[in-house]
């Protein structure tokens, strides 16, 4: 099972729509879109789990593809953070 980060999603994105997009490459095992606590709209990113070979195909096929007028960013989740490097 591989976990992917999906970024640059439009605020109108729903779990159903994103799941349908990724299901073209295989079975979506889980999906979680980060939403604003007040508006309940997508904050522009989320996480999806798929089997390894299906996830690799999804990354190759969807990274840079336009979705809702914006180019998607699809990457494997960075499970190993380098010491000393912090995001702000």
Domain ranges of the chain: 2-76
Cβ contact 32:83 at 8 Å: no
Cα separation of 61 and 23, whole Å? 12
Cα separation of 10 and 56, whole Å? 23
- Assign a CATH topology to domain 2-76: Alpha-Beta Plaits (3.30.70)
What is the pLDDT at residue 20?
Answer: 97
Would you give per-residue pLDDT tens digits along the chain (88 residues)? 999 999 999 999 999 999 999 999 999 999 999 999 999 999 999 999 999 999 999 999 999 999 999 999 999 987 555 555 555 5
pTM of the model: 0.84
Find the distance separating the first CA and the last CA of the chain, reported in whole Å. Answer: 29
What is the pLDDT at residue 82?
Answer: 57
What is the pLDDT at residue 84?
Answer: 58
């Amino acid at each position: 099972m591989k976990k992917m980060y999906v970024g640059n999603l439009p605020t109108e994105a729903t779990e159903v729509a994103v799941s349908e997009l990724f299901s073209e490459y295989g079975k979506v095992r889980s999906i979680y879109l980060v939403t604003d606590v007040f508006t309940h709209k997508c904050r522009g990113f989320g996480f999806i789990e798929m089997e390894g070979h299906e996830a690799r195909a999804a990354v190759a096929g969807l990274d840079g593809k336009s979705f809702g007028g914006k180019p998607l960013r699809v990457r494997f989740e960075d499970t190993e953070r380098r010491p000393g490097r912090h995001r702000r």
